Amino acid sequence: MAVQTWLITGSSRGFGRALTLAALEAGDQVVATARKPGQLADLAEQYGDRILPVALDVTSAEQTRAAFEAAVERYGRVDVVVNNAGYANIAPIETAPEDDFRRQFETNFWGVYNVSKAALPVLKRQGTGTIVQFSSIGGRVGCTPGLGSYQAAKFAVDGLTRVLAAETAPFGIRCLVVEPGGFATDWAGASMDIQGIPEEYEATVGAVAGIMGTEFTAAGDPKRAGENLVRVVKREHLPTHLVLGGGAARMAIDYSLGQIAEASRWLTVSSSLDFGQPYPVEPPADTA
């Protein structure tokens, strides 16, 4: 297979660094973006011209366009775009500072929007390319107390990507949403700020804060995840969504089965609201 060029956001640590290393080890080229590209100096020394560290704050549309211009200038093309940059802070929705809630959303959703939009002219011109969006199992299942901004953004990323995939398939562009569970990155450590939790939220938000940084949030191996993603992206046929981690996969299956059961239980009520259908109908028994 021909050498591919990757552009990966948030490359200095966590999943981004693991994926950057995996792509380089596979013989590919990487435009490795980070707020502080100096943190990639060791990889630049080791891999030479096959890695291009670029400063990028994904909340800046101007910096994002400049990153793609630098990528095309160095390598002539971009084959795989990975939206990995993101972070989460913990606080109840009621008491979370609004400016922090918005800042998280700026990075976790609008950053993905900026990078995806900047990628499209390059990928369309080539007639091929893959966009990989890092979501979270929380972006499918949700309901984790304290992660309101983060999980809302991840749901939005999934919705955006479903539409993006439909719009760009005729141009030869593929999209993949990645949904990790708990992995041994600093997402739940140094990158996370646990804000003041009022006493009445200790049983919910406080319980979630208490497991951050434990084995529960660090079951997955980022190195394995990076290597696996490189192999998956090189396949001819991609899944639309890829869940990372056994616990996350079980959560996804249970959630989807629950959705099917609930929609089926209320099917006669839903159908009765169309013109020409029997109405009213008896709802299902009022039980849990």
Task: Work out the pLDDT band at 188, boundaries 50, 70, 90.
Answer: low
Kindly report the CATH number assigned to the domain that includes residue 212.
Answer: 3.40.50.720
On the question of pLDDT at 216 being above 80, the answer is: no
Task: Give residue 270's domain range.
Answer: 256-288
Question: Is 249 within the bounds of a domain?
Answer: no
135 and 275 together in one domain: no
Q: Do 227 and 273 share a domain, yes or no? A: no
Give percent of the chain above pLDDT 90.
89
**pTM of the predicted protein model:** 0.95
What integer pLDDT is reported at residue 218 of this predicted model?
75
Query: Residue 93: inside a domain, yes or no?
Result: yes
Residue 270 is a catalytic residue: no
pLDDT range class, residue 288, cuts 50, 70, 90? confident
Residue 261 within any structural domain of the chain: yes
The single residue of 135, 136, 149, 201 carrying the catalytic annotation is 135
Q: What are the Cα distances from residue 173, in Å, to 146, 232, 236, 242?
A: 35, 15, 12, 17
The model's confidence at residue 224, banded by pLDDT at 50, 70 and 90, is very high
Residue 189: per-residue pLDDT: 67
Same domain, 180 and 266: no
- Same domain flag for 148 and 175: yes
98-156 pLDDT, tens digit per residue, is 999 999 999 999 999 999 999 999 999 999 999 999 999 999 999 999 999 999 999 99
CA distance 71 to 55: 12
Indicate the Cα dihedral angle 121, 162, 216, 196, nearest 10°.
80
Residue range 88-96: average pLDDT?
95
Better-scored residue on pLDDT, 196 or 111? 111
Q: Is 135 a catalytic residue?
A: yes
Tell me how far apart the alpha carbons of residues 106 and 90 are, in angstroms, rounded to a whole number.
Answer: 16
Q: Is residue 50 in a domain?
A: yes
- Check whether residue 16 and residue 118 sit in a common domain: yes
Q: Is 154 a catalytic residue?
A: yes
Catalytic residue among 113, 136, 149, 154: 154
**Per-residue pLDDT at 134:** 96
Name beta bridge partners: 172: none
Do residues 195 and 168 both lie within one domain?
yes
Tell me how far apart the alpha carbons of residues 82 and 10 are, in angstroms, rounded to a whole number: 9
- Are 90 and 151 found together in one domain? yes
CB 187, CB 14: distance < 8 Å: yes
Identified catalytic residue from 75, 113, 150, 201: 150
**How many structural domains are present in the chain?**
2
Residue (of 81, 80, 116, 118) closest to 2 by Cα position: 80
Let me know if residue 20 belongs to a domain. Answer: yes
Of 28-37, 154-163, 211-220, the range with the lowest mean pLDDT is 211-220
